[in-house]
Each structure stands twice: as C-alpha cells, then as structure tokens.
Structure 1
Amino acid sequence: MAAKKNFPLRIDPELHAALERWAAEEFRSVNGHIEYLLRESLKRAGRLPGRAASEDE
C-alpha cells in the first residue's frame, strides 16, 4: 500500500462530533471514516482513479 498523505483539516466542532459518533458506530477512527466517506463519494462520482462509476452498480 502506498504511503498516506498527511494534511491539516480545519473542521467545525459540531461536524467533528457528529463524525466521531458515526465513526464509533461503524467501528472506525474519525480519520478512517472520513477516508471511507471520501472514497465512496469519489467512486459514486466516477472520479476514483482506475474505477468507473458503473463498476459497483
């Protein structure tokens, strides 16, 4: 697996709290859940490199 890119993220505290709760329900860290949500969104939009939008549909 490729090395992960680190970057700072400024986020509203209420949004972070909601993400913390959601991540806990999914047994993920907040970071892992944000990455999961972004990946799923990119897949649906057909913007994930090497993947077409219709591959999972």
Structure 2
Amino acid sequence: MSKEKKSFVLRLDADTYKALEKWAADEFRSVNGQLEWIIAKALKESGRGAKTTEKKSSSSQ
C-alpha cells in the first residue's frame, strides 16, 4: 500500500538549500528525501508522528 503524498511549495534561502543539498548527498538521498526524513524524525521525536497520532485517537475512544 502506498501512501498518498501531498505537494507544496517551500522557499529556502540559497545558503540553507546548499547546506541541505550537501547533507542529502552525504546520506545518499535527494533533497526531497532528506526533507521527508528530517520531518519524520522530528515528528517521531516530538510524539506527533502519524503512528503516534493514530494510537492516541484509538486509545481515547
């Protein structure tokens, strides 16, 4: 099963983009893949990831 992906525009200054591009290359990811990984990691660490949200909503019923 594939998850539906949403598209949106993100504006970054050139220096931030260059740093992100380098980080992604260092980890053999695309810039998009690196952003997805960073966001997923931050959501998981904050307890706000999709799986965490699903558990909270099902346990509160």
Q: Shorter chain as normaliser: what TM range?
A: 0.7 to 0.9
What TM-score do you get using the length of structure 2 for normalisation?
A: 0.79
Does 1:13 pair with 2:11?
A: no
After superposition, where does 1:37-52 map in structure 2 within 5 Å?
37-51=38-52
What TM-score do you get using the length of structure 1 for normalisation?
A: 0.84
- More helix per residue: 1 or 2? 2
Letter in 2 for 1:14: D
1:1-56 Cα shifts (integer Å, max 9, x gaps): 1121011111111000000000000000000000100000000000002228xxxx
Aligned counterparts of 1:49 and 1:34: Cα–Cα separation in 2:
16
Task: Give the ranges of 4+ consecutive aligned residues of structure 1 lying more than 3 Å apart after TM superposition.
Answer: none
Percent identity over paired residues:
46
Aligned length in residues: 52
Unaligned segments of structure 1, at least 5 residues? 53-57
